[in-house]
Amino acid sequence: MKNKRAKIRNQKRIKNKLKKRIKERIRNRKKKPSGAPSVRQTILILDFGSQYTQLIARRVRENKVFSKIIPYNTPAKEIAAMQPKGLILSGGPASVTEKKSPYPDAGIFKLGIPILGICYGMQAITEMLGGKVKHTKEREYGKIELFIDDNRDLFNHLPGNFTCWASHGDLVTKIPVGFHTSAHTMNSPIAAISNPKRKIFAVQFHPEVTHTEHGNKILSNFLFKICGCLGRWTMESFIRESIEGIKKTVGNDKVVLGLSGGVDSSVAALLIHKAIGKNLRCIFIDNGLLRKDEPQQVKQVFRNMFHLNLDFVNGSKRFLTRLKAISDPEEKRKIIGDEFVKVFEEEAKKLKGVKYLAQGTLYPDVIESVSPSGAPSKKIKSHHNVGGLPAHMNLKLIEPLRELFKDEVRSIGRQLGLPDTIIQRQPFPGPGLAVRIIGEITPERLELLREVDKRVVDEIRNAGLYEQIWQSFAILLPIKSVGIMGDERTYENVAALRCVSSFDGMTADWVKLPYEVMEKISNRVINEVKGVNRVVYDISSKPPATIEWE
């Protein structure tokens, strides 16, 4: 009888404990709002200046893991505070055999975070942990054959040998204590090293480039097998995190955003609108440098379709007055940027409670203007989306797309319901047609270019090529040429046609347009646009040229 009573009491205790746990879980669920973002798993990329650093970031993201590029010399304490799942040390142009070579904070090796060194990253790891690197005359550049010595961890489930892409003039001659060689090439006895106990790995080649066979598998082994990432970073999660982040940052304050109608500003506007609703005030500035019918299209989509607070400002006269007799491209950009800020300042003063200025800045915008590593870099041109905000504006900056590439932004746009006419719209420069008119800008030349540009886009669309091409547009040149129309001599303007293919705008190649498409464009422009009698085609790639002419 005693045993039976004890058993009943024990069952009651268990039931009471279960009830308490259930109640506690319910309370916790109430505290945590539905749809709240989970902690983002991040891979940090320490940038040593490699031309492939951004490509590493893209490859990681393609595996549904968030990646972020940070300066190579970021203190270990700051890295630890970011709680990354792993670190990747990029390649770079420097050599560890030289004085004042860049090195990461030695404290990263004490954090217990998995590390992958690529090319220069491998050499830096080797030198810092007691190994040796020497310069060699027999450089490895281009495609080489890699032979696997250890198919665990980094090279798990890979064949015994395959082609990879190398670009280095230094070789590891002695590995640090605790490491072993995991791959070699014919010229390099030590092409990859591993220390599974400390979770530190390094390769002498570039797994991030497409020329390396199984490169993505190597990176995914690092991400999932070594770092333990779950691969749950998607555009859906980004949208959720961004909305929550904007709500938390802005609160009940107001945000003003310059809406151009392009993909970047449009997606930024909808993200912020979802977060704070009517507290977002969008301003569309007609600077007189836009394409044909563009203002009307923006009004139709954002005011009528999405019901955003949208103000229209006609600043054409102001912009064109300041641009009169200006031919230098950098001066044009500075004037347009300066006037844009002035208009914003004036409009913001009319609104109460505005404390934030939003921009659709993308990652390539930042990269092209300032080196993310903090290393010296030559600025090619100023960028309309980066910097330029005077301190007296008293507006804090919000850039919800700053860490994204163009294709990622388009993916977000689709999920937010943007029409294809905006999602697939080709990039258009902030200074507008001002950087597509070489030389002085006048109302007459602007109208001429608008008509030419419309026919270029029409024929590219008619050929079914618009969405396949990164950018297709016309440039009005500062020269005239002799021509014949009917039996009369003409002396009229020359228009250049520019069509490029690209993935993210960082590099670009000229498009080999079908001859019949080029012929239709040329015929329509010359026959229908009075003032143009010659069309030429730009066959330059980026680099060495830029996509825009100015």
d(CA 261, CA 302): 9
Query: What residue has token string 């151009």?
Result: 260
Q: Where are the beta strands (DSSP E) in 363-470?
A: 396-398
Cis peptide before 543 (omega within 30 of 0): yes
CA torsion, points 224, 230, 233, 234, in degrees to nearest 10? 100
Find the catalytic residue in 168, 206, 273, 383.
Answer: 206
For residue 495, which of 432, 440, 451, 452 has the smallest C-alpha distance? 452
DSSP string of 18-83? Answer: HHHHHHHHHHHHHHS-TTPPPPPPEEEEEE-S-TTHHHHHHHHHHTT-EEEEEETT--HHHHHHH-
Find the catalytic residue in 119, 164, 282, 499.
Answer: 119
d(CA 351, CA 347): 7
Q: Which residues of 46-58 are buried (b: 16+ CB within 10 A; e: fewer)?
A: bbbbbebbbbbbb
d(CA 380, CA 119): 27
Is residue 548 among the annotated active site residues?
A: no
CA 85 to chain centroid, in Å, comes to: 21
Half-sphere exposure of 83 (CA within 13 A, CB side): 4
Dihedral pair phi/psi, residue 172, rounded to 5°: -80, 125
Task: Identify whether the C-beta of residue 372 lies closer than 8 Å to the C-beta of residue 71.
Answer: yes
For residue 45, which of 24, 22, 72 has the smallest C-alpha distance? 72
Mention every residue, 6+ apart, whose C-beta is less than 8 A from residue 378.
Answer: none
Tell me the helix, strand and coil percentages in the chain, rounded to 5: 40, 25, 35
**86: helix, coil or strand?**
strand
Find the catalytic residue in 208, 294, 399, 492.
Answer: 208
Is residue 206 among the annotated active site residues?
A: yes
For residue 407, which of 420, 421, 423 has the smallest C-alpha distance? 423
Encoded tokens for 327: 């031919």
**430: helix, coil or strand?**
coil
d(CA 240, CA 184): 44
Encoded tokens for 242: 């961004």
Is residue 392 among the annotated active site residues?
A: no
Mention every residue, 6+ apart, whose C-beta is less than 8 A from residue 51.
Answer: none
DSSP label at residue 424: T
Task: Identify whether the C-beta of residue 57 lies closer than 8 Å to the C-beta of residue 67.
Answer: yes
Using alpha carbons, list the distances in angstroms from residue 246 to 270, 296, 394: 12, 29, 19
For residue 371, which of 71, 68, 104, 100 has the smallest C-alpha distance? 71
Half-sphere exposure of 262 (CA within 13 A, CB side): 21
Task: Identify whether the C-beta of residue 386 lies closer than 8 Å to the C-beta of residue 341.
Answer: no
Could you list the active site residues? 119, 206, 208
